Chains A and B, each alone.
Chain A
């Protein structure tokens, strides 16, 4: 195990490395980092890597090969302040192995080369929304090649609305101690968003510097080829600054929009004499050094006899003597509705004057407007009255509501209810059902044979019911007559034959040809013969026999219905 530093004499902002290597015959992944004390005065970035090397040795003719794995732990350190620092003790502990590498002393000298940074705030204490200027002067030495400033928007923009005062940072020459010096000035106008004590920490600027390196001491070529050099990446740090941001005092006037600084208001009208229905333009210009968003629409006086249209607003910014100034122009179009002499009362704009630490109100002059009779404007034809909008926003929130029913969850979304989608099926289902019924009706209408066939069983059932009634009334003649008629009618309907003229033999033959079994044919014949006998011979009233005959007829009708 070894350790060392690349340089023990460095300057503030100059980076150097502390390297600790651990060697082992076995490859071990995820070795722990060493424990290094005394790194607090430095900004530290860490890096690690593993390499391997093989060695072959021949001793007394014996060849042996060994492989070593080296893990390097590199700390890139940059000192922030000059002084003598002790880095260590450096200890390494891994399982049973532990070693103390001792410590090393590094002398950090004040930077004699590179960048000199001069950060400055033009005020130590401000109010929320008041403009302050943060400027950073960078004085590079001639050996500095490239400067990389930090992302100020990210660093400062969290607590401030900020605007960079130059579009491009260009070098300029200033006189310092009677000598011309090349400098870069970066300036920001800042507007605090919240009141607090704000710290501007030490920001780091990276830069490249060419360090002189004499390749041949006193060589005759030095003058001709110049001095050799290497580019070193360095870091410079700004001094931290602090700022106190105070809240605005109470007593804000109504309509105060948060404008802090010094402001001016100018108002003018393009004409003072016009006819009713014609338009005049009231132009209001407000400018000041507060936050640009703080300039809101000025407060208009009551203008009952005028229609006021939404203003056309244009804004611009400029930098004047290093101060960021924003300007907004509001152009109101006013249309008098009736003739008369009117006074446009002054418009007002409130702001907080940080110098006098008081709220101030800017007012425009009042304007006398003479309106002659012209085009009358009907009431109700009013065109987008801007004042009405202002009234709406300027009023209070609407009051709370009372419940007329119990406090319960509001109606759920209909599309999440299964029954809602089932209702969609209802319409098509009814339609299809009725369509099928209608088609069937039409078919029966056009085919009388089919109709007889379809209706046969219904008619037979009715007849059998009549027979049952006759049986209950012990009307023997009527019973047999109805029974035989029902069977005969049923057969003629099913066979689509005229009832008249359909003899028993014809019926049996037709039924046979339709595939009715012999057993059923016999049953048909038996029932018909028995009915004939019963009708014409005065048979005894035997209810059991009638019941059997009725049952037999019902069975037969069912069988014929199935097969024919």
Chain B
């Protein structure tokens, strides 16, 4: 029987075997080849990030953990390794601690994948019409009951819809990047002739607001912002 594995799969398998043997440089090269084949897969990104971390390319490894997380937002392995890699950065740009209420609200907003949210939304919407159809042939007693269920579902969907819309919008518009160079200055304007405001280090995550030529206007989770050389960043 002919071997039907794609080149990307062959690179991936070879990289895994190098990694198992502790030959991380070679593993990293092979994962890179698989990535260059244009495959967007969270496991590929995760393994590549592991090999980058092992070869002390912290910025790139965080970038690929983030890329993997974007495709599989709740994968516990990706989350654990990203947290571990972040603990090795010079800058501790961790997001502020949340209280129980904000944690709960945050979970309601993003504690599940966007696709799952969209399926639940469609299911709720279809359920409303299924109950309306049922009502056409039901007696008044059942009607009152099913109308209250319809009202409840509709209310939940109305309350929940901004969360889903925000997630779709942020998926489309929000752009994040990771510092790939050892250190990077943040300037007050797009050029090194402006005042240097702060210095950040490899692995720090930025939100990109705009990119004009060589300079990117960025914002740190702490709220601090400015301009940095776009070539020193890796876009997630």
A393 touches B84 (CB 8 A): yes
Partner of A427 from B71, B85, B129, B195 at Cβ < 8 Å: B129
Q: Interface size for chain A: under 10, 10 to 19, 20 to 34, or 35 or more residues?
A: 35 or more
Cβ-defined contact, B129 with A431, below 8 A: yes
A435 to B122, CA, bound (A): 22
Q: Per-residue 0/1 for A381-418: is the Cβ within 8 Å of any B Cβ (1 yes, 0 no)? A: 00000000000110111111111001111110111000
Residues in chain B near residue A411, CB distance under 8 A: 115
* Cβ < 8 Å to B, chain A residues 430-446: 430-431, 434-435, 438
Chain B residues within 8 Å of A398, by CB: 50, 77, 80-81
- Asked whether A158 is an interface residue with its Cβ less than 8 Å from the other chain, the reply is yes
Residues of A within 8 A of B16 (CB): 400, 402
Which residue of A has the minimal Cβ distance to B81? A397
Residue among A397, A413, A427, A430 with the most chain B CB within 10 A? A397
**Looking at B12, B43, B51, which has the most chain A CB atoms within 10 Å of its CB?**
B43
A403 surroundings in chain B (CB, below 8 A): 12, 43
Q: Is B163 an interface residue (CB 8 A)?
A: no
Query: Roughly how many angstroms separate A457 CA and B12 CA in the complex, as a whole number?
Result: 71
Complex CA distance for A423 and B51, rounded to whole angstroms: 43
Distance in angstroms from B5 CB to nearest chain A CB is 8
- Interfacial chain A residues near B183, Cβ < 8 Å: 158, 193-194
CB contact between A393 and one of B40, B83, B90 (< 8 Å): that residue: B83
Contact across chains for A157 and B72 when beta carbons are under 8 A apart: no
Residues from chain A with Cβ under 8 Å of B137 in the complex = 438
Cβ–Cβ < 8 Å partners of B39 in chain A: 407-409
Chain B interface size, as a band, is 35 or more
The reply on A420 being an interface residue by CB < 8 A is: yes
Residues of B within 8 A of A426 (CB): 126
Q: How long is the Cα–Cα vector from A64 to B6 in the complex, in angstroms? A: 88
Q: Is A154 an interface residue (CB 8 A)?
A: yes
Decide if A410 touches B126 in the complex (CB within 8 Å): no
- Indicate if B41 sits at the interface (CB-CB under 8 A): yes
Contact B125–A415 (Cβ < 8 Å) = no
**Identity of the chain B residue whose Cβ is nearest the Cβ of A406 in the assembled complex:** B9
* Given contacts A154-B195, A424-B122, A428-B129, A410 and B41 within 8 Å (CB-CB): yes
CA gap between A293 and B92 in the complex, in Å: 10
Interchain nearest-CB distance for A164 vs B (Å) = 14
B199 in contact (CB, < 8 A) = yes
Shortest CB distance A541–B (Å): 52
Asked if B119 contacts A401 (CB within 8 A), the reply is: no
Known: A423-B126, A427-B130. Is A409-B53 also a contact (CB below 8 A)? Answer: no
Chain A residues whose CB sits within 8 angstroms of the CB of B90 once the complex forms: 293
Contact of A431 among B9, B44, B119, B133 (CB under 8 A): B133
Q: Is the CB of B50 within 8 A of A407?
A: no
A415→B118 contact, CB < 8 A: yes
Contact A414 B71 (CB under 8 A): no
Cβ-closest chain A residue relative to B54: A397
Residues of A within 8 A of B132 (CB): 431
Task: Please determine whether A407 and B196 come into contact, CB atoms closer than 8 angstroms.
Answer: no
Task: Tell me the interface secondary structure of chain B in the complex.
Answer: helix
Is B168 interfacial (CB 8 A cutoff)? yes
B128 interface residue (CB < 8 Å to A): yes
Q: Which of B72, B85, B130, B196 contacts A154 (CB 8 A)?
A: B196
Interface set, chain B 88-128, CB cutoff 8 A to A = 90, 114-115, 118-119, 122, 125-126, 128
- Shortest C-beta distance, B125 to chain A (Å), equals 6
B129 pairs with A430, CB closer than 8 A: yes
Q: Tell me if B43 and A413 are in contact (CB < 8 A).
A: no
Is A151 an interface residue when CB atoms closer than 8 A count as contact?
Answer: yes
> Which A residues are in CB contact (< 8 Å) with B128?
427
Would you call A153 an interface residue if the criterion is a C-beta within 8 Å of the partner chain's C-beta atoms? yes
B175, CB-defined interface residue at 8 Å: no
Contact (Cβ within 8 A) A397 B85: yes
| A475-498 residues at the B interface, CB under 8 angstroms | none
Q: Which residues of A contact B8 (CB under 8 A)?
A: 407
Q: Is B171 in contact with chain A by the CB < 8 A criterion?
A: yes
CA distance A397 to B50 in the complex (A): 8
Q: Are B114 and A158 neighbours in the complex by a CB distance under 8 Å?
A: no
- Given contacts A411-B115, A414-B114, are A157 and B77 in contact (CB under 8 A)? no
Residues of B close to A154: CB separation below 8 A: 195-196
Q: Which residues of B contact A395 (CB under 8 A)?
A: 84
In angstroms, Cα B42 to Cα A401, docked, is 10
Q: Which of A397, A423, A428, A430 contacts B122 (CB 8 A)?
A: A423
Min CB gap B66→A, angstroms: 15
**Please, which residue of chain A has its CB at the minimum distance from the CB of B44?**
A407
When distances are taken between beta carbons in the complex, the residues of chain B under 8 Å from A400 are: 16, 19-20, 46-47, 50-51
What is the bound-complex CA distance between A27 and B90, given in angstroms?
59
Does B60 make an interface contact (CB < 8 A)? Answer: no
Residue B224 lies at the interface, judged by CB distance under 8 Å to chain A: no
Q: Smallest CB–CB gap between B143 and chain A, Å? A: 14
CA distance A428 to B125 in the complex (A): 9
**Could you tell me which residues of chain A, from 5 to 45, have a CB within 8 Å of some CB in chain B?**
none
- Most chain B beta-carbon neighbours within 10 Å: one of A401, A407, A434: A407
CB distance from A162 to the nearest CB of B (A): 10
A413 to B117, CA, bound (A): 11
Q: Which of B84, B128, B130, B171 is the most central at the interface, judged by chain A CB atoms within 10 Å of its CB?
A: B84
The answer for the CA separation of A193 and B185 in the assembled complex, in Å, is 13
Asked if A408 and B41 sit within 8 Å, CB to CB, the answer is yes
Tell yes or no: B233 within 8 A of A by CB. Answer: no
19 further A-B pairs in the complex, CB-CB below 8 A; given A158-B183, A397-B84, A431-B129: A151-B195, A154-B196, A193-B182, A194-B182, A393-B84, A395-B84, A400-B50, A401-B43, A407-B6, A407-B12, A407-B34, A407-B44, A409-B39, A409-B40, A420-B122, A423-B126, A427-B128, A427-B129, A435-B136
Q: Which residues of A contact B (CB under 8 A)?
A: 151, 153-154, 157-158, 161, 193-194, 293, 392-393, 395-403, 406-411, 413-415, 420, 423-424, 426-428, 430-431, 434-435, 438
Report, nearest first, the 3 A-B pairs whose CB atoms are least far apart: A427-B129, A400-B47, A414-B118
Q: List 29 A-B contacts (CB under 8 A).
A: A154-B195, A154-B196, A158-B196, A161-B199, A193-B183, A194-B182, A194-B183, A393-B87, A395-B84, A397-B50, A397-B85, A398-B77, A398-B80, A408-B39, A408-B41, A409-B40, A414-B115, A415-B168, A420-B118, A420-B122, A424-B122, A424-B125, A426-B126, A427-B128, A427-B130, A428-B129, A430-B133, A431-B129, A435-B136
